[in-house]
Amino acid sequence: MTTPLLEVRDLVVEYPVATGVFRALDAVSFSVDAGSTLAVVGESGCGKSTLAKAIVRLLTPTSGAIEFDGVDVSRMSEKALRPYRSRIQMVFQDPYGSLDPHLNAVDIVGEPLRLQGIRDRRARDAKAAELIDRVGLPTTALRRKPAEFSGGQRQRIGIARALASGPDLLVCDEATSALDVSVQAQVLDLLREIKRDRGLTYLFISHNLGVVREISDTIVVMRGGRIVERGRTEEVLARPREPYTRALRAAALDPTTMVGIKPRNVVAQGVAS
Partner 1 sequence: MTTVIEAPDQPRPSAVTPRDVATAGATRRARDSRIKIWVGSVAALVVIAPVALARVLPLPSPDTTNLAARRLPPLTDGHLFGTDQLGRDLLARVLFGGQVSLAIGVLAVVVSGVIGLTLGAVAGYRGGWADTIVSRLLEAQLSLPLLMMLLLVVALFGPSIPVITFVIAIAQWPEIARLTRSLTLVEREKPYVAAAHVLGLGHTAILLRHVIPNIMKQVSLVVLLLLAQAVLLESALSYLGAGPQRPFATWGRIISDGQDYVTTSWWLVTLPGLVIALLVVGVNLLGDGLRDRSGRSKRSLLSRLRLHGKEI
Partner 2 sequence: MDNLLKVDELQVELITANGVVRAVDGVSFHIDAGETVTIIGESGSGKSTTAMGVLGLLPVDLAVLSGAATFQGCDILGKPKALEKVRGKHIALIPQDPMTALSPVHTVGAQLRDAIRHSGVRGRAKQNARAVELLEQVKITNPTGQLAKYPHQLSGGMLQRVLIAAALAAGPELIVADEPTSALDVTVQASILDLLLELQERTGVGMLLITHDLGVARLMSDRIFVMKSGRFVEGGDPEELLRTPRDAYTKRLLDAVPRLEPVQTGVPA
* Angle between helix 121-134 and 151-164 (nearest 10): 130
Beta carbons of 203 and 31 less than 8 angstroms apart: no
- Among 203, 214, 213, residue whose Cα is nearest residue 30: 203
Which residue's CB is nearer to partner 2, number 45 or number 166?
Answer: 45
> Site residues for partner 2, window 223-252 (CB under 8 A)?
237-240, 246-252
Which residue's CB is nearer to partner 2, number 18 or number 251?
Answer: 251
- Among 59, 55, 27, residue whose Cα is nearest residue 205: 55
The partner residues of 226 in beta bridges, in order of sequence, read 223
The alpha carbons of the chain give a radius of gyration, in whole angstroms, of 21
Q: How many CB atoms lie within 10 A of CB 162?
A: 24
Report d(CA 7, CA 30) in Å as an integer: 6
- Among 222, 261, 252, residue whose Cα is nearest residue 46: 222
Which residue from 99, 106, 159, 215 is in contact with partner 1, where contact means CB under 8 A? 99
User: Residue 224 binds which one of partner 1, partner 2, none, with CB within 5 to 8 A depending on kind?
Assistant: none
Binding mask 178-207 for partner 1 (x = CB under 8 A): --x-xx--x---------------------
Report d(CA 156, CA 163) in Å as an integer: 10
User: Residue 209 binds which one of partner 2, partner 1, none, with CB within 5 to 8 A depending on kind?
Assistant: partner 2
Binding mask 41-80 for partner 2 (x = CB under 8 A): --xx------------------------------------
Q: Does 144 bind partner 2 (CB under 8 A)?
A: no
Q: Does 111 bind partner 1 (CB under 8 A)?
A: yes
User: Residue 56 binds which one of partner 1, partner 2, none, with CB within 5 to 8 A depending on kind?
Assistant: partner 1
User: Residue 258 binds which one of partner 1, partner 2, none, with CB within 5 to 8 A depending on kind?
Assistant: partner 2
The partner residues of 37 in beta bridges, in order of sequence, read 202
- Among 235, 227, 242, 222, residue whose Cα is nearest residue 9: 227
Interface positions with partner 1 (CB under 8 A): 56-58, 78, 81-82, 85-86, 88-90, 92-94, 97-102, 111-112, 115, 136, 149-150, 152-153, 156, 158, 161, 165, 180, 182-183, 186
